Amino acid sequence: MIPRSVLITGAAGGLGTRLRGLMRGLYPRLVLTDRATPKDLQPDETFVAADLAQLDEMERVMAGIDAVVHLGGMSVENEWQAILDANIIGLYNAFEAARRCGVKRVVFASSFHVVGYYRRNRRFGTEARVRPDSRYGASKAFGEALASLYADKHGLRVLSIRIGNIDDRPVDKRRLSGWLSPPDFLQLVRIGLEHPDLHCEIVWGVSDNERNWWDNEAALRLGYRPQSNAETLRDQALAAEAKLPHDPIGELFQGGGFASREFSGDLERM
């Protein structure tokens, strides 16, 4: 069943702004929320200011909503308190408000940083244990667990998308593996919003890249058919890579700079 009203959280951010344009005209009612007002609001968009940290505000904005695309929260590594407020408490409030308001579906923007401490020569599916490379990555692993709880206990239909990197093109060598084109991202979001048999799934947010690290069988089973391949843009990415500073830790792991930041571990045991 196609949702009539879709809410995008984090709508003023870079990813939210991009998704607004991609989703325009697909659903009868598009509602946006963030603490800041998005730029260039369109006549067919409704904006309601709300803070993820406030459950009552999230309930207010979710009233009458059929489905949520949850992009809100901290999108990079940060100090613990910032991650806690935005990605732990804020995420709980989003799911709990959805439950209380009778929302049927949630698409959760997870991240490949939940597995950022796997080395770049590993290929695996979503069943592999999480190995977050940061407080940010750990918060996304929490989000996937919370999604499972609300699907099993309360019947929400949830798709968690472990996003690699969404951009118009891959900007370095690492992203030749994890790049997700905007049209392919939209395809995954629509699967989360519309697939009739969805219960709770985790999929990789990645295009059909030749250097892909991840087995995306779960997404393919749901009907995902990625159209983009980072290898067609490799020359620009490799040229940009040559200008980057050497990162002996980050270059080993899929998480890149997230993995090397604050690193004091034992490489031999890893």
Measured CA to CA in angstroms, residue 17 lies from 10, 207, 212 at distances of: 9, 20, 26
Give the model confidence (pLDDT) of 201-245 as tens digits: 999 999 999 999 999 999 999 999 999 999 999 999 999 999 999
Geometric angle at alpha carbon 145, from 139 and 150, rounded to 5°: 120
User: What per-residue confidence (pLDDT) applies to 67?
Assistant: 98
Mean predicted confidence (pLDDT) in 103-115 = 98
User: What per-residue confidence (pLDDT) applies to 172?
Assistant: 96
- Please, are residues 239 and 213 in contact by the beta-carbon 8 Å criterion? no
Measured CA to CA in angstroms, residue 53 lies from 58, 65, 81, 136 at distances of: 8, 19, 12, 17
Mean predicted confidence (pLDDT) in 141-152 = 98
Mean predicted confidence (pLDDT) in 153-175 = 97
Long-range contacts of 185-189 (CB under 8 A, 24+ apart): 185/19, 185/22, 185/161, 186/19, 186/22, 186/23, 187/224, 187/225, 187/226, 187/227, 188/159, 188/161, 188/219, 188/224, 189/19, 189/23, 189/69, 189/107, 189/161
Residue 241: which H helix or E strand, with range?
Answer: helix 234-241
User: What per-residue confidence (pLDDT) applies to 202?
Assistant: 98
Is 90 exceeded by the pLDDT of residue 1? Answer: no
Any catalytic annotation for residue 136? yes
Question: Structural domains in the chain?
Answer: 5-260 (3.40.50.720)
Mean predicted confidence (pLDDT) in 244-269 = 96
Q: What percent of the chain lies above the pLDDT cut of 90?
A: 97
Mean predicted confidence (pLDDT) in 7-36 = 96
Q: What percent of the chain lies above the pLDDT cut of 70?
A: 100
User: What per-residue confidence (pLDDT) applies to 245?
Assistant: 95
Q: Hey, how many other C-beta atoms are within 10 angstroms of the C-beta on 266?
A: 6
**Catalytic residue of the set 92, 136, 150, 224:** 136
Beta bridge partner(s), residue 203: 161
Give the model confidence (pLDDT) of 37-95 as tens digits: 998 899 889 999 999 999 999 999 999 999 999 999 999 999 999 999 999 999 999 99
